[in-house]
Amino acid sequence: MVLFQISEPGETQVQRQHHLAVGIDLGTTNSLVATVRDGRAETMINAQGDHHCPSVVRYFADKPPVVGQEAKDAAYQDPLNTVASAKRLLGRGVADIETTANKLPYEFSKSESGTPLIRTVAGDISPVTVSADILKTLMQQAEADLGGELDGVVITVPAYFDDAQRQATKDAARLAGLKVLRLLNEPTAAAVAYGLDSGSEGVHVVYDFGGGTFDVSILRFSRGVFEVMATAGDSALGGDDVDRVVAEWIMSEASLGDDIEHSQLRRVIGEANRAKEALTTADVVPLSVEGVNGSQWLGALTRAAFERLIEPLIQRTLRPCRRALRDAGLSAADIQDVVMVGGSTRIPRVRECVGEFFGREPMIDIDPDKVVAVGAAIQADILVGNKPGDEMLLLDVIPLSLGLETMGGLVEKLVPRNTTIPVVRAQEFTTFKDGQTAMSIHVLQGERELVADCRSLARFELRGIPPMNAGAARIRVTFQVDADGLLSVSAQELTSGVESSIEIKPSYGLTEGEVEKMLSDSLLYAEDDVKKRRLHEQLVDSARLIEAVEAALGMDGEGMLTKQECVSIKAALQSLKDVQQQGEDIAAIKAAHDKLERTTSDFAARRMDVHINEALSGKLLDQIID
């Protein structure tokens, strides 16, 4: 976005006020806040003298919660009331917890909306509330450091967060009292910091392997414009999964069952995390956990064994990399460099696999923990108005196609995946039946051709459509995706002006494998989907013809048709109905449809002549022209 400061010639410019703005990296494991001082973006240090704030909240029955390191230190002794990795639960349903957050040492209950609630002594707490408490702590830290109230923040989210997860993040910010300037995709934020620091133009890959999510984005940086060419990822894959795999190995080695106490599970996960971090530089790390009957289990984990354990997780990150390259129409040879983001990229084997995949050494000279917050701070400084002459433009994309249901259970895509946002797309539709005065709008997300194979986002109704013949109404449906990736849909009947709209706020998001499955299925079943779509479209066209012919026979059949003509039309009509009911042979349905059209063509022409004559009868030429 280019903003100009304009003044009259010779007029003295008033000293522009500096607005207080920060960028927040709301992470699964740790969160950071950064700001721009004297033209330089830097992360802010908290009261404990650390740049990182652990994304952990401890709740009490009789006092406010505590956030950060103090809460993290209490996790072992108070596991049920100390919540970590809440980001992995944002926008999720209770049914998703088994796949997206298994092995979490909490007790869950279900809300009316389907959102999981964590049982604590302070009551049932939602993941949105936990995230809001973290954001509030970061806000207070920033305001104390900057000496005033914040004018705005940019909060980063994984590129593959769906609409529900983005909305949950924005709800958490609102609960914390923050004015959100933008939700910015984490890889894009990293590219902002990297591109401005290096001034390097070309095509870059941002490989973002954090505590709870994985994203890969391919970006082109040219003349101050960041264009996201493609994005892919897994919003339920991260360092937590690495810890879980190591923890399961430790539990197996120490003969610990799945029914161990919450506090013991916390200790095992903590030991797994410690081992993971130590093996970044060490070849072997000693382990110690409390075994069965209070005994102490002692063991060791080598780097080679650790790498074997996590190899499947690393390979899972490379599948989205292949998809992103394919979507961008590029090969690994077209990539200028690979930027590593997220704490999990410190693992040596991760760096080796990424280097082998892209055929070049990844960039590791940027602090993978801080770069996202720094990029968010730079963007916040621009959006709040502190850099009115800055010419940097961010062109982000949506990860999955958006569309709506049409007759026959088909999906009409209005916004294809990897479309640059913000975006507005509109398309006109019409009514199916004569006299139809309402229309149900069903909004969907996914890559397949049929409604049954896509995810439902929302439904709403457009009422008050003037009664007209089928196909006469003009209904414009508009999809608007804002810069945060949030969707709103409106529908308007153009002749009358009646309108209805909805902001898409689903109660929970996609499960762990759904995004990957949506995209892989769209390729695997592409040919079959096209056949199904043609069949459904033919069924809809034939249903329209049957309804129109039956209406015409009821209105004008006796007066305009001979007995033989009536028999022929009814026979063709019944033949089409019969093949319609079978609903499988598209060639047979089309043949019967075409035969009925040919059989009724003379009848249709006669009806048109008669009704035109009736409409013009007794009118002067001037009246007709008027």
Asked if residue 100 has pLDDT above 70, the reply is no
List of residues 6+ apart from 116 with CB closer than 8 A:
89, 92, 93, 94, 97, 108, 109, 110, 126, 127
Report the pLDDT averaged over residues 223-251: 84
Report the pLDDT averaged over residues 486-512: 67
Report the pLDDT averaged over residues 582-600: 81
Asked if residue 473 has pLDDT above 60, the reply is yes
Residue 259's CATH number? 3.90.640.10
Q: Which one has a higher pLDDT value, 232 or 3?
A: 232
Task: Give me the chain's average pLDDT, please.
Answer: 80
87 lies in the same domain as 165: yes
520 lies in the same domain as 592: no
Inside any domain, residue 165: yes
Catalytic residue among 25, 163, 171, 271: 25
> Phi and psi for 463 in degrees, rounded to 5?
-115, 165
| Whether 428 is catalytic | no
Looking at residue 345, the DSSP 8-state letter turns out to be G
Highest-pLDDT range among 35-39, 195-199, 247-251, 414-418: 247-251
Residue 610's CATH number? 1.20.1270.10
| Neighbour count for residue 152 (Cβ, 10 Å) | 18
Burial class (CB in 10 A: 0-12, 13-18, 19+), 569: buried
Provide, for the chain, the percentages of residues in helix, strand and coil under a 3-state DSSP scheme, each rounded to the nearest 5.
40, 25, 35
38 lies in the same domain as 130: yes
Q: What is the pLDDT of residue 13?
A: 43
Give bridge partners of residue 488 from the DSSP assignment: 480, 503
Q: What is the pLDDT of residue 388?
A: 57
Asked if residue 102 has pLDDT above 60, the reply is no
**Residues of the domain holding 536:** 527-616
Going by pLDDT thresholds of 50, 70 and 90, the confidence category of residue 150 is very high
| Whether 25 is catalytic | yes
Asked if residue 379 has pLDDT above 60, the reply is yes
Virtual CA dihedral for 512, 356, 326, 363, nearest 10 degrees? Answer: 80
Amino acid at 479: F
What 3-state DSSP class applies to 462? strand
Inside any domain, residue 3: no
| Whether 87 is catalytic | yes
Domain boundary among 262, 289, 309: 309
Least confident stretch, 165-179, 344-358, 514-528: 514-528
Inside any domain, residue 317: yes
Q: What is the pLDDT of residue 426?
A: 85
Inside any domain, residue 409: yes
Residue 8 CA, chain-centre distance (Å), reads 46
443 lies in the same domain as 557: no
Q: What is the pLDDT of residue 94?
A: 64
Q: What is the pLDDT of residue 565?
A: 82
Order of strands across the sheet with 499-503?
A: 423-429, 475-481, 487-493, 499-503
Work out how many domains the chain is built from and give that number. 4
Catalytic residue among 87, 276, 370, 532: 87
Tokens 């040219």 locate to 222
Q: What is the pLDDT of residue 243?
A: 92
66 lies in the same domain as 207: yes
Catalytic residue among 151, 163, 171, 186: 186
Inside any domain, residue 580: yes
What 3-state DSSP class applies to 179? coil
477 lies in the same domain as 333: no
505 lies in the same domain as 588: no
Order of strands across the sheet with 56-58?
A: 66-67, 56-58, 82-84
**Pairing state between β 66-67 and 82-84:** unpaired
77 lies in the same domain as 156: yes
Q: Which one has a higher pLDDT value, 366 or 200?
A: 366
Going by pLDDT thresholds of 50, 70 and 90, the confidence category of residue 237 is confident
Asked if residue 67 has pLDDT above 80, the reply is yes
Residue 49's CATH number? 3.30.420.40
Q: What is the pLDDT of residue 373?
A: 92
Virtual CA dihedral for 44, 46, 50, 56, nearest 10 degrees? Answer: -110
489 lies in the same domain as 541: no
Report the pLDDT averaged over residues 436-465: 80
542 lies in the same domain as 480: no
Is the backbone peptide bond immediately before 422 cis, with ω within 30 degrees of 0?
Answer: yes
Domain boundary among 378, 397, 416: 397
pLDDT tens digits, one per residue of 298-327: 999 999 999 999 999 999 999 999 999 998
Inside any domain, residue 1: no
Report the pLDDT averaged over residues 237-258: 88
Q: What is the pLDDT of residue 312?
A: 94
- Number of residues that this document lists for the chain: 626
Report the pLDDT averaged over residues 390-408: 70
Q: What is the pLDDT of residue 2?
A: 36
Catalytic residue among 208, 405, 453, 512: 208
Residue 486's CATH number? 2.60.34.10
Inside any domain, residue 14: no
Burial per residue of 69-82, b for 16 or more beta-carbon CB atoms within 10 angstroms, e otherwise: bebbeebbebbbbb
Q: What is the pLDDT of residue 604?
A: 77
416 lies in the same domain as 502: yes
Q: Which one has a higher pLDDT value, 388 or 423?
A: 423
Asked if residue 149 has pLDDT above 70, the reply is yes
Burial class (CB in 10 A: 0-12, 13-18, 19+), 98: exposed
Q: How far apart are the first and last CA of the chain?
A: 50
Q: Give me the percent of the chain exceeding a pLDDT of 70.
A: 82
- Whether 175 and 407 have beta carbons less than 8 Å apart is answered as no
Domain boundary among 309, 324, 358: 309
Inside any domain, residue 4: no
Going by pLDDT thresholds of 50, 70 and 90, the confidence category of residue 517 is low
249 lies in the same domain as 271: yes
Distance CA 553, CA 561 (A): 9
